[in-house]
Structure 1
Amino acid sequence: MLSRNQFNVLRSLLKKSGSTQRDIAASCGLSLGTVSTVIASLKELGCLNADGSEVTEEGLRSLKPYQVDNAVIMAAGFASRCAPLSYERPKGLFRVRGEVLIERQIRQLQEAGIEEIHVVVGYMKELFFYLEDKFGVHITVNDDYFRRNNTSSLYAARYFLRNSYICSSDNYFTVNPFDRFVYETYFACTYSDGPTDEWCVETGSRNRIVGYGVGGADAWYQIGEFYWTKDFSRRYMDLLEEEYDDPEVADMLLDAFFARHIDELPAYVKRYEQGDILEFDTIDEIKRFDDKFVDNMDSCIIDNICASLDCSEGDIDGFEQIKRGNTNVIFSFYCKRKKYVYRHPGKGSEQIIDRYNEAFAQRKADDLGIDGTTVAINPVEGWKISRYVEGCYDFQYHNEADALRAFDLMHRLHAAKVQCGWQFDIAANCALFRRLAEERGQRSPFRIDELRADVERVYHFVESDGVEKVLCHNDMCDSNIIVSADAVCAIDWEYAGMADPAYDVCSFIVGGDHTHEQVLHLLELYFGRSLTPAELRHMYGSIAVVSYHWLLWGIYRQSVGHDAGSLLYYWYRYAADYSKRALALYAPAGRLAII
């Protein structure tokens, strides 16, 4: 095994044979005396020729254990902070200063002599497939990218990790950091003047990392590539294999998992000058580095905004993702100092949403003053621009005043008795969601078949009540109700259509976690009085049918990478509980297979 100084001198001479000892000292950061001593020891080992100017075959054999085997580039993530451009392509495929980020990185690896390159993809994975033909890289698909953090990308590449570089596809290296030979495991780091919220390192003897955590000031922090030796890779992945199914690990970055086992995983710091490695977290950061970035991205979203608001790319800034919405991805932005919201259709939404129907209902809602935020809506492509409601706050299900305001919206909508040419066919929707999920191999953790039999009977009874159909929103949950001190509106009319008014009330109820007593209270708030037995059984039955509908929707959405979270449990619980409550109130009847 070579000492660190022996390795550095050999590598320096391998890069430039015939170098003087002064040249070697400068490139390795060693004193002339140390270089002279090291060269003498390498000649004794037969690693250098007689005059110490060239690496011998024995020297190459000595370097072999330190040769880089491959690189793994992680490119599976969504990069939500780079919305809206990340809605159209992954950040690794952004073009910055004339180069695609991941292509620049692949070229730098290949220039360093690293030919085996594995790219781990997930979000919009198909857009990366061309890299196989263009650069000869290997594509690995991470199917867990949407439900786990980047430890899942490491796990997907676990069989390739040896002496390996581990990179992020969105890093921009102003200098090529890669080498054919690396001595030990390292984390690339640069210095922060002042506070930072990055992963900061504390080092001990020989620059070993002894402390690693988020945040610090006037500190060295990790940015850029990692290099792992075979021993480190094996130990890290053994630990990850053991703990991969631990719920705490699911959302962990590879950094957090390293920090969890820092005493078992010896790693060191490689220090870079500020500006050697760039990491772009937002579009504004990229624009500061490349002022032509947005112009050169050929973004349909930016084009839509410019055409709708009669502006140029330079008038648009302040992009910020809004953490709301399950069917779509949504962000806010500023144009000429006014704030707007852009709705971009989510993956798979075209299979379940009729955008022409939505546009009709949206315009009616604006006319009735039930929404009124719409600036532009495109029924062909599914995007929408809305006015941003200032001073709005999160709707509170358990705030009675908020609930009454939501019910007032529903009463006004239903009383208008708007007619349209299509039904909100909840039975057909259920069949569609179930089929789409099954086609994608998505299996439900719930006892759907048992539940389905009860809901089928309930649906028959509810429909037999003969309630008049009117235009309904059909998705009156908290994320679709915008409230402020002086205004309330219902947004996102994607599921609107002729339906039983109970569907609006019940979609509101099943969007939150309520006890049975709270459900009764909400129903009485809506009706303004106690319910008759006929009304009560109809509302219970509608709760069962509506919650079952959204349960199947949630299972389908999981199949295309969107996690409905705790709502799945709420919907299952409502469907199971209220189907039994409704059946106990309705007269016994045989089964009718509709849903």
Structure 2
Amino acid sequence: MKRRYFQIIELMKKNPAITQRDIAGTLKISLAYVNQILFSMEQDGFLKTNGLPAIGKRVLTIKAHTEYDSCKVDNAIIMAAGFGSRFIPLTYATPKGLLEVFGERMIERQIKQLQEAGITDITVVVGYLKDTFEYLIDKYNVKLVYNPDFETKNNLSTLYHVRDKLKNTYILSSDNWLRKNMYHAHEYDSWYSAVKVNEKTKEWVLQLGLHDKIMKVKVGGWNAWVMYGPVYFSRAFSDAIRPMIEEAYHRDDTDEWYWEDVLSRHLNTLTMFANKQPANQVYEFESLEELRQFDTSYMISTQNKWMELISRVFGKPEMQIRNLRPLRLGMTNKSFIFELNNNKYIFRIPGTGTEVLINRKQEYAVYKAIEPLGISDKIVYFDQTTGVKITQFEENMRVVDPHNPDDLDACMWIARKLHTSGITVRHRFNFRERIDFYERQAEAKHGILFYDYTEVREKMNALLDLLDTLEKPEALTHIDLICDNFIISDGDVKLIDWEYAAMCDPLADLAMFSIYSYFSEAQINDLMHRYFRRDPGPEEKLRVFIYVALAGFLWALWTCYKQALGESFGEYGLKMYRYAKDYYKKIMQMTGFTDERTQESNDEQSET
């Protein structure tokens, strides 16, 4: 069935008495061309004339109804798995698709528009803050599908997990806003909504052919039609792209792919058209600033507690807080940058479970104690109850590279300055106590999953006993002395995030730096040499290796607890656990030490 046939059938189904002149006016084509199409439709069996040819009335045939019905839209898929990083801090608590525009949640507006067009089979693919979408099941009778890859893969994975639902299907993004309803009960062919951009753009630019067929897609351009808004897959298109999505998903190099990457690479076999939209019809808000310009209520208040806090701290209206962007999603906290009064600041939000793990009053005490050293970030605001912190942002900042010798020397210089400062605080970091504490927290959440945990725990107990026999100095120690907590700005080195800092053996810091950087034994030896500025003594090396094993075990327990709370850290926990086991063996080789409990356990296994 040809496109013009589809359009005329649709008009005749809506108004059987429609005239050729009305058809011409609606489709914006000449009356002569309409008569030519009608004649062709009759020849192809889509129309028949009731009565005499000269005065009879053309009506749709069964073939016309059948082929039109094959274009009925089956369902819609709404992609809502992503984080929406350019809308922080709003999206820390609310997924972008659930943000309101003119008092209406963006995803709800689209669901209602779909339902108004008769599309009731709607699937929402969720990931980040998935539970916040659950209410949609009851309110709109939608279905939810979870994308387990939402943290590690782009939206190609979203379509992969609903590939079995691809038919005559609308594909929507939850954070789009459409002024007018552009959905229909029937669609002729596959299309991608497109808008005209008259200036330079970083969007996906379309090169169009006859009838606006998409011939080529590239990222970025000037004065062009770009991909913008919802998409429609015909059944034939879905059947064609499904195996392509499957093949791409299983490749090793496609974690960052959008599903559009698959489309752009197969336009020689996939047919899709641009559905050109007028200006001010489709919106994809790229930042809070864009949303503020569209819905001015966001100028006054975002209804977000972190934005309200910034406003109170600085005594400025929210609308002056600008250029928000995530700094990083850390292993412990979430941080973002904002601008106010022509200055930049970092806002830290403590992560899940940190209220159990970290004493914020102790952290604040460390910050106050180290102020004279000038080696840390400058605090603007610190809440000793919640741990929320605002600090000044260092311009031209970069994180230390643990494989850069100059960076390593700079880090060790800061570490020595801290350790030899003579500054003390009232709290201590004790590995035995902390391991016991993290173990209790993980066990309470049923989070310990290592099958040989009991055996490894016995080995760590042996190392703790060995450590107790050694002479150790005590100094203010960072404990979380890792490469990501060192920042270099215009040659100046700072050490940030003092959450775990306490009095301890300073050599624990070398172990922490080493295991987070996944250092080999040779690299750990090199780090010790840079710290001491000489070869380490046998007992110094032994202590560092003991701390490598104990710290690896400690952070493996930490990840068990955090993962039980729903946070994922990939292979980090496994690598930490491996440090515990491998460096226990090295210490045994260095010392010839055999723990009686471990030996008895080995003897029992041998007898068995």
Q: Conserved in 2, the CA contact under 8 Å of 1:397 and 1:478?
A: yes
Amino acid at match of 2:10: R
- Is the alpha carbon distance of 1:447 and 1:26 closer, same or farther for their aligned partners in structure 2, counting shifts above 3 Å? farther
Q: Does 1:500 align with 2:505?
A: yes
Distance 1:264 1:437 in 2: 51
Q: Does 1:427 align with 2:425?
A: no
Q: Does 1:417 align with 2:424?
A: yes
- Is the alpha carbon distance of 1:259 and 1:178 closer, same or farther for their aligned partners in structure 2, counting shifts above 3 Å? same
How far did 1:6 drift?
0.8
Q: Conserved in 2, the CA contact under 8 Å of 1:418 and 1:470?
A: no
Q: Residues 370-449 of structure 1 correspond to what in structure 2 (within 5 A)?
A: 370-414=375-419, 415-420=422-427, 423=430, 425-428=433-436, 431=439, 435=443, 439=447
How far did 1:162 drift?
1.2
How far did 1:89 drift?
0.9
Q: Does 1:266 align with 2:265?
A: no
Q: 1:526 aligns with which of 531, 536, 539?
A: 531
Q: Which moved more, 1:428-437 or 1:69-78?
A: 428-437
| 1:261-315 per-position Cα deviation (integer Å, ceiling 9, x unaligned) | 3333222222222332111111112122222225353101101111222211122
Distance 1:213 1:403 in 2: 41
How far did 1:149 drift?
1.1
How far did 1:254 drift?
0.5
Q: Residues 144-155 of structure 1 correspond to what in structure 2 (within 5 A)?
A: 144-155=149-160
Q: Which moved more, 1:5-14 or 1:236-245?
A: 236-245
Distance 1:450 1:264 in 2: 58
Q: Does 1:33 align with 2:69?
A: no
1:119 aligned residue: 124
Q: Conserved in 1, the CA contact under 8 Å of 2:169 and 2:232?
A: yes
Aligned with 1:249: secondary structure? coil
1:182 aligned residue: 187
Q: Conserved in 2, the CA contact under 8 Å of 1:366 and 1:372?
A: no
Q: Does 1:105 align with 2:110?
A: yes
Q: 1:337 aligns with which of 327, 339, 342?
A: 342
Q: Conserved in 2, the CA contact under 8 Å of 1:223 and 1:279?
A: yes
Q: Conserved in 2, the CA contact under 8 Å of 1:147 and 1:561?
A: no
Distance 2:64 2:227 in 1: 33
Q: Does 1:92 align with 2:97?
A: yes
Q: 1:584 aligns with which of 585, 589, 593?
A: 589
Q: Conserved in 2, the CA contact under 8 Å of 1:325 and 1:479?
A: no
Q: Residues 458-537 of structure 1 correspond to what in structure 2 (within 5 A)?
A: 458-465=463-470, 467=472, 470-485=475-490, 487-537=492-542
2:201 aligned residue: 196
Aligned with 2:309: secondary structure? helix
Q: Which moved more, 1:583-592 or 1:119-128?
A: 583-592
1:547 aligned residue: 552
| 1:201-250 per-position Cα deviation (integer Å, ceiling 9, x unaligned) | 23345433332232233332211111111222223222333443221233
Distance 2:143 2:101 in 1: 24
Q: Which moved more, 1:464-473 or 1:151-160?
A: 464-473
Aligned with 1:148: secondary structure? coil
- Is the alpha carbon distance of 1:288 and 1:28 closer, same or farther for their aligned partners in structure 2, counting shifts above 3 Å? same
Amino acid at match of 1:545: L
Give ranges in structure 1 of 5+ residues lacking alignment. none
Distance 2:489 2:477 in 1: 23
Distance 2:299 2:48 in 1: 53
Q: Which moved more, 1:571-580 or 1:139-148?
A: 571-580
- Is the alpha carbon distance of 1:481 and 1:49 closer, same or farther for their aligned partners in structure 2, counting shifts above 3 Å? farther
Amino acid at match of 1:431: E
Q: Does 1:135 align with 2:134?
A: no
1:257 aligned residue: 262
Distance 1:453 1:275 in 2: 67
- Is the alpha carbon distance of 1:137 and 1:204 closer, same or farther for their aligned partners in structure 2, counting shifts above 3 Å? same
| 1:404-445 per-position Cα deviation (integer Å, ceiling 9, x unaligned) | 443344345443232127756441355257548854xx968x
Q: Which moved more, 1:350-359 or 1:242-251?
A: 350-359
| 1:125-155 per-position Cα deviation (integer Å, ceiling 9, x unaligned) | 1111111222221122212211211122112
| 1:151-174 per-position Cα deviation (integer Å, ceiling 9, x unaligned) | 221122223221100000011112
1:247 aligned residue: 252
Q: Conserved in 2, the CA contact under 8 Å of 1:476 and 1:505?
A: yes
How far did 1:36 drift?
2.3
Distance 2:400 2:355 in 1: 28
Amino acid at match of 1:174: R
- Is the alpha carbon distance of 1:591 and 1:321 closer, same or farther for their aligned partners in structure 2, counting shifts above 3 Å? farther
Q: Residues 176-325 of structure 1 correspond to what in structure 2 (within 5 A)?
A: 176-323=181-328, 325=330
Amino acid at match of 2:104: E
Amino acid at match of 1:428: D
TM-score by length of 2: 0.87
How far did 1:545 drift?
2.0
Q: Conserved in 1, the CA contact under 8 Å of 2:429 and 2:504?
A: no
Distance 1:571 1:189 in 2: 49
Distance 1:224 1:412 in 2: 55
Amino acid at match of 1:148: K
Distance 2:546 2:30 in 1: 84
Amino acid at match of 2:12: L
Q: Conserved in 2, the CA contact under 8 Å of 1:393 and 1:483?
A: yes
Structure index of larger Rg: 2
Q: Conserved in 1, the CA contact under 8 Å of 2:546 and 2:583?
A: yes
- Is the alpha carbon distance of 1:432 and 1:7 closer, same or farther for their aligned partners in structure 2, counting shifts above 3 Å? farther
Aligned with 2:149: secondary structure? coil
| 1:96-117 per-position Cα deviation (integer Å, ceiling 9, x unaligned) | 2222111111111111111111
1:13 aligned residue: 12
Amino acid at match of 2:435: A
Distance 2:205 2:576 in 1: 42
Aligned length: 589
Q: Conserved in 2, the CA contact under 8 Å of 1:319 and 1:332?
A: yes
Give ranges in structure 2 of 5+ residues lacking alignment. 51-55, 599-608
Q: Which moved more, 1:464-473 or 1:212-221?
A: 464-473
Q: Conserved in 2, the CA contact under 8 Å of 1:167 and 1:226?
A: yes
- Is the alpha carbon distance of 1:422 and 1:514 closer, same or farther for their aligned partners in structure 2, counting shifts above 3 Å? closer
Amino acid at match of 2:5: Q
| 1:390-409 per-position Cα deviation (integer Å, ceiling 9, x unaligned) | 34333233455544443344
How far did 1:49 drift?
7.9
Aligned with 1:265: secondary structure? coil
Amino acid at match of 2:595: G
Q: Conserved in 2, the CA contact under 8 Å of 1:365 and 1:372?
A: no
Distance 1:592 1:16 in 2: 89
Distance 1:262 1:591 in 2: 69
Distance 1:355 1:18 in 2: 76
Using the aligned pairs only, state the percent identity. Answer: 30
